Structure 1
């Protein structure tokens, strides 16, 4: 039985809060003694968007018990994010460095998150019954289980607890190749976590890497949207066959062309396949967080029982708008996103 209708409680986003440091590519930051930073992390980006869109959002992460964490928590609360579930343990907040203007998937990214409070979580440390109280939707991503085996075990622990409470579960198959350094491949870990999910979001390449669903080898040769969408449908059907709990699969297709981007998405609900309009732009301000914004849009739509085509179009427009916003999270309100959809 699908849990997607269970939308009476709050939405809980689960994942590591990160501080993103943004040195410029020319090294000017060393001369000016200035290093711009943004607060983010995939699941926090989702929480920020949902809070901005006036949804009841709760955020779980782990932070050290110190003054810096207090400032961060106060800031999140000022954004209408419920921080009551945040766990205090460990000694440090995770960091990563990303050269300004570069894509999150290229070699410019440097992680400094080993030994962070979140990465050091272990099964049995958190009372999930307390964390999940009043929650009807639980969201996580593939980033948490990429950190280490214990983090993957914690992820499974909370998913089991959420499943027992009949909470709707969504997952974003974020693939970060610079993570997954503890001797396990994603396909060895993710299937047992994805089995709990009602809604699965990713792209066909991540689904191949994490779930073992093959991508047609010569798919790129045509470059035709119809071929990519057909591949999205095939992958979605295989996911639903393999994971009986899943009720919807969404895929993003983002293609970089020089400094520009072509972007569109798809959604499969088991009985119908939807795809979004295609967006193109020649300029991009910040690619970080666009996928998180799409995920937030999906949650927003399903949580509010929107029509599948409507919620897909909203999520896609929200993700596209994020490309023009500096920082990890969107600043666009619901009405502004609907205006984008009308253009």
Structure 2
């Protein structure tokens, strides 16, 4: 059976307890993650054959990380070995990746040393029918961005379906190029683009409709998602599917969540999910992306795809750590409970 290849930087996430708790305890939780590994983990949970590709140094710590990946049922033959350190980031407990609390420690990581011509993508792409990557990798430096372009071109030449997550991390784009100067070249090769209306504007230059945003209502945001999807497909003719997520604060400590999926002839909207408490926001978007891949890989209808993806993403909000442990049954039961 053909595999999904998920490509991106593996990261160690350190989650200190602020207020000096991590100092007094001489400890802090450590998670193995990274957006694309989170996607691969979810897919493996849901029975989709998946391979992970990244760059790790040749040392004992990286050996243990690879063993951890393989124990999750993820094929690690796409891992390349060079460089001297694993990238990491610090996310104090109770903060959000998109907020000011995140502290990156990714400079001079093994993955950041990637550049065109440094690896032969043949091994990673062998037996692959789907390539997934995100906007996080090309945000690191120009050489990595060029290597990402090299990879999508190689995948395109092999007729591989390509998906792109428009993850926007403002703190990472620090090498003199704006996202909109880099990301459109990658998007030209993509069959599926996922993100939100604001990320599409910042990374791809897709216009924002201020009138619809000012209304600040689900119906208007859903209408905007359709406009954004149409603009993406018009600018990038290869793109067949566009998905948008909407995650807003609710009841002070909770989340209101819904999503849309757009094809050439359908605009589908997920159910709306509400919770007054959130355990961990990290990885929810990755879980949504994995849900899209899972549904499309298994030939589900567009409505079934977006419903499953949104339910999975919402479920991840109640899990601590980067990657989900949800099963297919967990996600399906959440959808059934919502319909009762």
Q: Structure 2-normalised TM-score?
A: 0.98
Which of 240, 253, 256 is 1:259 aligned to?
Answer: 253
Task: Choose the corresponding residue for 2:206, options 197, 205, 213.
Answer: 213
Q: Which residue of 2 aligns with 1:283?
A: 277
- Counterpart of 1:325 (choices 319, 322, 331) is 319
What aligned pairs does 1:23-172 form with structure 2 within 5 A after superposition?
A: 23-172=16-165
Q: What stretches of structure 1 of length at least 5 have no aligned partner? A: 1-7
* Separation (CA, whole Å) in 2 of partners of 1:133 and 1:120: 23
Corresponding residue SS for 1:101: coil
- C-alpha distance in structure 2 between counterparts of 1:220 and 1:153, whole Å: 34
Residue deviations 1:273-305, cap 9 Å, x none?
Answer: 000000011100000000000000000011111
Look up the match of 1:189: 182
Describe the SS at the equivalent of 1:71: helix
2:77/2:123 contact within 8 Å kept: no
CA deviation after TM superposition for structure 1 residue 218, in Å: 4.1
Distance 1:228-1:286 versus aligned 2 partners, 3 A rule: same
Structure 1 residue 219, shift from structure 2 partner: 3.5
Shift of 1:103: 1.2
Shift of 1:128: 0.9
Q: Secondary structure at the match of 2:308?
A: helix
Distance across 2 between alignment mates of 1:49 and 1:130? 23
User: Bigger shift: 157-166 or 249-258?
Assistant: 249-258
Name the Cα RMSD after superposition.
0.8
Q: Which is bigger in relative contact order (C-alpha 8 A, separation at least 6)? A: 1
Give me the whole-angstrom Cα distance separating, in 2, the residues matched to 1:77 and 1:322.
Answer: 22
SS at match of 1:189: helix
Q: Give the alignment partner of residue 287 of structure 2, picking from 275, 290, 293.
A: 293
> How far apart in 2 are the matches of 1:220 and 1:196?
29
Determine the structure 2 residue equivalent to 1:250. Answer: 243
Measured in 2, the distance between the counterparts of 1:104 and 1:218 equals: 28
Q: Which residue of 2 aligns with 1:200?
A: 193
Q: 1:272 Cα shift?
A: 1.1
Equivalent of 1:314, from 266, 284, 308?
A: 308
Q: Give, in angstroms, the shift of residue 270 of structure 1.
A: 1.2
Aligned equivalents of 1:27, 1:256: Cα separation in 2: 28
**Cα distance per residue 1:19-77 (max 9 Å; x no partner):** 00001122211111011111100000000000111111000000000100110111111
Q: Secondary structure at the match of 2:296?
A: helix
**For 1:96, what is the secondary structure of its paired residue?**
strand
Measure the CA separation in 2 of the matches of 1:33 and 1:219.
49
Distance 2:109 2:246 in 1: 32
Asked if 1:228 corresponds to 2:221, the answer is yes
Quote the Cα distance in structure 1 between the aligned partners of 2:203 and 2:160. 23
- Mapped partners of 1:288, 1:82: distance in 2: 23
